[in-house]
């Protein structure tokens, strides 16, 4: 268990902060405009990748009763990735982006989609208690991708070539490491189980919608900035939101090793134990978030100035607003993951759909009125309202499912 937690934390942390390094490399070795194009491309990649993953690994690893064969999970992932590529192309053709910007977006999305192909094989490893291997693979390819990205940007100055190199790295890991290791611990029959595929897509439709809506909520201010402001401004917003992004991923580091255990506790109806575990996780994330907020107040802007080589002093207030919001978002993300493990999904979709309509209107209004500050305020309002909504759902589900006094 300890080995799994350590390597999962290392791998997840490494793969999640690579975007930070890509932005640093671009601002240091290229132009702010290139960094801005990368920022919106990454946001779109993160949003559409939720369609490619179609629920991700959560449902797979919490399938403790093995209701679906491993190959059905694999086949379904390839199907959703292919469908998402088609949808992405239709979206890009509908926009008035330049050919270069569209190509960068498309290739960065392919890079992210390959991570989801890896994810289905990693789900097999995790169920076989080999989460440490997943972390090792994530660590290795993250380091290699950052190194190649730096070398190509520094010597060639080409964001296009850098992304192509990263695609080749991810593809190599899928073919020669993750798939092969999954086969070693779980042999599967290459057979199409239509009923299982239908069952999987039905079960994960709402999970997919939930993830898509969640990612839209977090990126709504970026889409508004892409509509109203320049790529330079987009790059700056991407920089000041990056520390919050790292904070938000802390929750996933804590949750991933515990997913199978949470599903087991829930299936065994150990409601008191599950309730205590939820409270402990929320308490830990809250404490880490408050520590991060204090550090960011005193060191946030000086560190960002040093790292990116820019004067970001005028953006201290938006930075603090975003980090405060990230604490609310991370706690909400933990509750959402637990609800998914408990198969409490439809209520989340309804809540997030309502919030998305509000987020769209709010972000476009505030960004259109007060630029980056509007984006930060919109982000804070969105995540606080989402937190309130999820706490309400938590109390509802506590009465129905997680009963303290059995």
| pLDDT computed for residue 404 by the predictor | 38
Question: What's the pLDDT tens digit per position in 346-382?
Answer: 889 999 999 999 999 999 999 999 999 999 999 999 9
What percentage of the chain exceeds 70 in pLDDT?
A: 93
Question: What's the pLDDT tens digit per position in 263-314?
Answer: 677 777 777 777 777 778 788 888 888 888 888 888 889 988 998 888 898 9
Q: How many residues does the chain have?
A: 406
Q: How confident is residue 1, by pLDDT bands cut at 50, 70 and 90?
A: low
In the predicted model, what is the mean pLDDT of residues 79-108?
94
| pLDDT computed for residue 406 by the predictor | 41
Q: What are phi and psi of 296, to 5 degrees?
A: -65, -35
Question: What's the pLDDT tens digit per position in 168-193?
Answer: 999 999 999 999 998 888 888 888 88
Average model confidence (pLDDT) for the chain? 86
Q: How confident is residue 256, by pLDDT bands cut at 50, 70 and 90?
A: low
| pLDDT computed for residue 337 by the predictor | 76
Ranges 35-49, 313-327, 335-349, 354-368: which has the least confidence: 335-349
Separation of alpha carbons 172 and 188, rounded Å? 21
| pLDDT computed for residue 260 by the predictor | 66
List Cβ<8 Å contacts ≥24 apart for 62-65: 62/259, 62/260, 62/262, 62/263, 62/340, 62/341, 63/127, 64/260, 64/263, 64/264, 64/267
CA 12 to chain centre: 11
Question: What's the pLDDT tens digit per position in 6-23?
Answer: 887 788 778 877 888 898
| Top-confidence residue, 134 or 64 | 134
Block residue for tokens 């093995």: 66
Query: Do the Cβ atoms of 81 and 118 come closer than 8 Å?
Result: no
Question: What's the pLDDT tens digit per position in 187-231?
Answer: 888 888 888 898 888 888 888 898 899 889 989 999 999 988 888
**How many CA atoms does the CB half-sphere of 171 hold within 13 Å?**
9
Question: What's the pLDDT tens digit per position in 94-107?
Answer: 988 999 999 999 99
Ranges 241-245, 363-367, 396-400: which has the least confidence: 396-400
Q: How confident is residue 320, by pLDDT bands cut at 50, 70 and 90?
A: very high
pTM for this entry: 0.82
Question: What's the pLDDT tens digit per position in 136-166?
Answer: 999 999 999 999 999 999 999 899 999 999 9
| pLDDT computed for residue 383 by the predictor | 93
- Max Cα separation, the chain? 65
Q: What are phi and psi of 373, to 5 degrees?
A: -60, -40
Separation of alpha carbons 196 and 187, rounded Å? 18
């Amino acid at each position: 268990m300890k080995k799994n937690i350590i390597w999962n934390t290392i791998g997840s942390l490494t793969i999640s902060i690579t975007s930070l390094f890509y932005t640093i490399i671009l601002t240091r070795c290229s132009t702010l405009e290139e960094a801005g194009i990368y920022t919106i491309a990454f946001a779109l990649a993160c949003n559409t990748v939720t369609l490619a993953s179609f629920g991700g690994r959560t449902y797979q690893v919490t399938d403790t009763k093995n209701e679906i064969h491993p190959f059905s999970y694999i086949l379904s992932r390839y199907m959703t990735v292919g469908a998402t590529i088609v949808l992405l192309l239709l979206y890009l053709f509908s926009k008035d982006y330049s050919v270069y910007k569209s190509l960068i977006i498309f290739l960065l999305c392919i890079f992210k989609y390959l991570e989801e192909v890896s994810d289905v094989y990693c789900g097999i490893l995790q169920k076989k208690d080999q989460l440490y291997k997943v972390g090792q693979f994530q660590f290795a390819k993250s380091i290699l991708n950052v190194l190649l990205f730096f070398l190509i940007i520094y010597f060639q100055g080409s964001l296009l070539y850098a992304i192509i190199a990263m695609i080749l790295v991810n593809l190599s890991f899928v073919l020669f490491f993750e798939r092969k290791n999954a086969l070693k611990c779980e042999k599967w029959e290459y057979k199409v189980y239509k009923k299982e595929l239908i069952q999987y897509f039905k079960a994960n439709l709402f999970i997919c919608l939930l993830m898509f809506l969640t990612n839209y909520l977090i990126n709504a201010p970026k889409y508004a900035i892409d509509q109203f402001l320049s790529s330079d401004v987009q790059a700056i917003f991407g920089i000041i939101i990056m520390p919050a992004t790292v904070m938000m991923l802390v929750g996933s580091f804590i949750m991933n090793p515990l997913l199978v255990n949470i599903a087991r506790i829930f299936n065994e109806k150990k409601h008191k134990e599950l309730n205590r575990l939820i409270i402990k996780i929320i308490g830990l994330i809250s404490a880490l978030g408050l520590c991060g907020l204090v550090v960011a107040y005193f060191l946030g802007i000086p560190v960002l100035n040093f790292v990116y080589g820019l004067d970001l002093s005028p953006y201290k207030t938006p930075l603090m607003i975003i980090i405060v919001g990230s604490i609310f978002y991370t706690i909400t993300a933990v509750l959402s993951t637990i609800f998914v493990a408990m198969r409490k999904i439809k209520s989340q979709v309804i809540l997030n759909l309502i919030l998305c309509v509000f987020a769209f209107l709010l972000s476009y209004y505030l960004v259109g009125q007060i630029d980056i500050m509007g984006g930060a305020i919109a982000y804070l309002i969105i995540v606080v309202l989402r937190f309130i909504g999820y706490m309400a759902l938590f109390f509802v589900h506590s009465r129905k499912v997680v009963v303290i006094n059995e």
